[in-house]
Amino acid sequence: MKKITSKNVKKTVLFICKHNSTRSQMAEGLLKSTHSDLYDVYSAGTHPGTLNQFAVKVMDEVKVDISRNHSKSLKEFAGVEFDYVVTVCSKEGESCPFFPGGKNYIHQSFEDPTVFDGGDDEIITVFRRVRDEIGEWIKETF
């Protein structure tokens, strides 16, 4: 198994969800923005989609730029070992992907804001709430 190594002996973290378009992308951006000195952070999904523009917008509001990110497949990390593999899918109606290269596995359920149906103002409110929940969890966990 390959290991991603860092000159500064940083821990490696992989956030995963189904599409790698919103929650795992926000988690990656938030952890990088607060603890890039301690962690090398990545994200991926089982069925990568397109980076969600509402996610880009709400992250920009907290000065975290994920606009250049792209959705990645878990296959890109095949054979790589991570210190932490974190699933961020929701509890209800969503199966969490499994990645076999983790030393430690963490699951934290976050609502999928992409399934919310409403106007843009209502949707952005849900995205902000999920972003803030992810941010608080990252502060407590890492």
Crossing angle for the helix pair 23-35 and 120-141, nearest 10 degrees? 50
Number of C-beta neighbours around residue 96 at 10 A: 16
In the set 38, 96, 106, 123, the catalytic residue is 96
96 in active site: yes
111 in active site: no
In the set 13, 17, 27, 58, the catalytic residue is 17
Label residues 6-16 b or e (16+ Cβ within 10 Å = b).
Answer: eeeebbbbbbb
In the set 16, 55, 85, 89, the catalytic residue is 89
Under 8 Å between Cβ of 105 and 85: yes
23 in active site: no
Active-site annotation, residues: 17, 89, 96
